Structure 1
Amino acid sequence: MNESVVLQKPSKPRKSRAKKIIIIIATVLVVLFIGLLIFIPYAIMPMFLGQHYEQQQFNSSDYGISSERITLVTDDSLSLAAWRTRAETETSKGTIIILSGIQNPSVTAFFGYAKMFADHGWDSLLIEMRARGESEGEEIGLGLTEWRDVKAGVEFLRADQEVKDLPIVALGTSMGGSTVITAAGELPEVSAVISISAFSSWSDVFIYNMEMNGMPKAISVMDTPFLNAYLGFHFGFNTLKYSAEKSIVKLGERPILMMHSTGDSQIPYEQFEKLLSKAKKHNIDVTTFVREGDEHFVCYEQYSENPAEDIEFSQAVLNFLAAKFP
């Protein structure tokens, strides 16, 4: 009697099924995490964009200096409010272009700086950047577009026969500090830079603010490509090449004075260190002034209307100018 043996197909091991389930769950979690990273810029960035900031304006006469109100036109057809002040000396050493920060105060709050410069032989051109005060523009550009506002100022000065061959120094605070570095990187006509509490890039600002609001830094860092994609679609991907971090290496032999406070709660000191490291790595002629504490404007608040009275701060600025433009 012959016996036949029937071989049964083995059932799938339980381990194989469990592995598939784990892969599916992991894939879903990864997709959800990427979705979260994409969502974050769309949730956060609108609060910074699409706004024209109204600011309190100040009169130059209250600071002991006269000014001429002028209008600058950018290469993207925006009219900007600006004020020109003149040196108190017989001849001018050049012009200091002055910018304020991302929202407040108005650049007219810096007439005290213009007075200090005038007393030491410098003209000033105070530019209210786009989407602020009397200047046109639907929204701030987070430092990606404002360098064009400096360009408009430079073109105005170069068209003036009286000063067209004199040095142009660009000074800015906070986002203005970042903007003047970017502008100098694009505009060889800028002879020197004074940056006060500049941020290294908007993505670094974003990471810092997310961290301050409880988001793990690692997640904020991973979100950077999605933030840049958002900014690229919003402002144009060509604008992503503009940042202080990328531009500071373009200064070449032109000098820069970098000023920051160690406890700055708005732009952390580590961003100053990041910019300084870039400058030194590329042998940029950099001078630094560091102040202890949380002093975002570096100049002490009680001296904001008359920075010349803040001896350490004013001497750092004036000594830099005297050394580089004797």
Structure 2
Amino acid sequence: MLGIGTASAILASEYLFKFAFKRVDYVPETSADKQKYAKSYWNYVNWFKNISKEHWTFSIDGEDETMSAYFIAANTDSKKVVIISHGYKGNGETMANYAKMFYDMGYNILLPDDRGHGESAGKYISFGWLDRLDYLKWIDKIIDRIGNDAKIVLFGVSMGAATVEMLSGERLPSQIKCLIADCGYSSIYEELTYLLKRQFHLPRYPFYPLVSTINRRRLGYYLDDVSSVEQLKKNKLPIFFIHGEKDDYVPSYMALENYRATTAPKELWIVEGASHAESYWINPEKYKEHIENYLAKYYV
């Protein structure tokens, strides 16, 4: 019976790994609570599709395919740049509303597709961990294009926020001025064990350790390595945390964990009534105002 139970746990863990980590070549429908924003969302997507942009790529080791991003030049001569990191199972296009917000503020914009997403290479989703290394290459490309006097903001939502948070612990060039992380998770351990219980009604053990071992074999690292908190402890740059009060996908207590881990200049805005990744949509003008107020202090 013990052998049958072990085999069942391994099979279930393989299913869970594929469910969570295998790339999906389409963008899933948004949650029911955000369907009311669909018309506005598609207006932003149409703006993205129609605006002049450049397709940037680079190759990654061991892959025949390339990483993909789209660059939108500012509408005036500008050294201001924002690199926008998308959420889980999204792509750069799904961040069109944020791109338009920054474009209207005079920024050049880079919208990467992360590993296992969109037009980028990768069989599996790395939840920001390998992506943080890819973003170092995107940053180099931005500096080559804009110049050494480029002023770069790193901005992300959901998994993209965690990507920015994890990137914050790396050695970043002086052109990176500040960070904005909207509803990022504190670690994969916290996020997956939370979702195991909420979505699948499963305990942490034995499933999380087994999924972590599968990830080590497929992607080269254990899931305990994937921690925004540990990376933020090394961060030296100003960072603005945004999180929805009613987020039941990445609970708002994770924003507090990330905030407490950070010793650099920091601000936190818990958005009343907002669910996961809804903070912008509830009141776009207020969201933009908060971003502008933060940048007025730290984007120097």
TM range, normalised to the smaller chain? Answer: 0.7 to 0.9
Deviates more, 1:257-266 or 1:119-128: 119-128
Aligned residue among 278, 296, 300 for 1:322: 296
Assess, with a 3 A threshold, how the Cα gap between structure 1 residues 239 and 167 changes in structure 2: closer, same or farther: farther
Aligned residue for 2:21, secondary structure, equals coil
Given that 2:212 and 2:223 are in contact with CA atoms closer than 8 Å, whether structure 1 keeps it comes out as no
Aligned residue among 156, 162, 185 for 2:169: 185
Does structure 1 residue 243 correspond to structure 2 residue 230?
A: no
Q: 1:94-133 residue pairs with structure 2 within 5 A?
A: 94-104=80-90, 106-133=91-118
Given that 1:200 and 1:271 are in contact with CA atoms closer than 8 Å, whether structure 2 keeps it comes out as yes
Q: How far is 1:74 from its partner? A: 4.8
Aligned residue among 262, 265, 278 for 1:285: 265
Assess, with a 3 A threshold, how the Cα gap between structure 1 residues 222 and 263 changes in structure 2: closer, same or farther: farther
Q: 1:294-309 residue pairs with structure 2 within 5 A?
A: 294-301=274-281
Structure 1: give runs of 5+ residues left out of the alignment: 1-27, 304-309
Given that 1:96 and 1:122 are in contact with CA atoms closer than 8 Å, whether structure 2 keeps it comes out as yes
Assess, with a 3 A threshold, how the Cα gap between structure 1 residues 202 and 124 changes in structure 2: closer, same or farther: same
Give the share of equivalent positions with the same residue, in percent: 20
Aligned residue among 158, 168, 177 for 2:152: 168
Measure the CA separation in 2 of the matches of 1:294 and 1:38: 37
| Equivalent position amino acid for 2:185 in 1 | F
TM-score after normalising by structure 1: 0.75
Measure the CA separation in 1 of the matches of 2:178 and 2:50: 24
CA RMSD of superposed structures (Å): 3.0
Q: How far is 1:220 from its partner? A: 1.5
Which residue does 1:20 correspond to in 2? Answer: none
* Displacement over 6 Å in runs of 4+: 31-37, 56-61
Deviates more, 1:49-58 or 1:78-87: 49-58
Which residue does 1:275 correspond to in 2? Answer: 258
Assess, with a 3 A threshold, how the Cα gap between structure 1 residues 109 and 67 changes in structure 2: closer, same or farther: farther
Given that 1:145 and 1:239 are in contact with CA atoms closer than 8 Å, whether structure 2 keeps it comes out as no
Aligned residue among 221, 230, 234 for 2:218: 234
Assess, with a 3 A threshold, how the Cα gap between structure 1 residues 90 and 51 changes in structure 2: closer, same or farther: closer
Assess, with a 3 A threshold, how the Cα gap between structure 1 residues 74 and 261 changes in structure 2: closer, same or farther: farther
TM-score after normalising by structure 2: 0.81
Q: How far is 1:121 from its partner? A: 2.8
Aligned residue for 2:168, secondary structure, equals helix
Given that 1:72 and 1:152 are in contact with CA atoms closer than 8 Å, whether structure 2 keeps it comes out as no
Assess, with a 3 A threshold, how the Cα gap between structure 1 residues 192 and 221 changes in structure 2: closer, same or farther: farther
Number of equivalenced pairs: 283
Aligned residue for 2:156, secondary structure, equals strand
Q: Deviations over 1:94-117 (max 9, x none)?
A: 21001111113x322323322322
Measure the CA separation in 2 of the matches of 1:187 and 1:58: 37
Structure 2: give runs of 5+ residues left out of the alignment: 29-41
Measure the CA separation in 1 of the matches of 2:8 and 2:257: 28
| Equivalent position amino acid for 1:44 in 2 | L
Which residue does 2:36 correspond to in 1? Answer: none
Which residue does 2:38 correspond to in 1? Answer: none
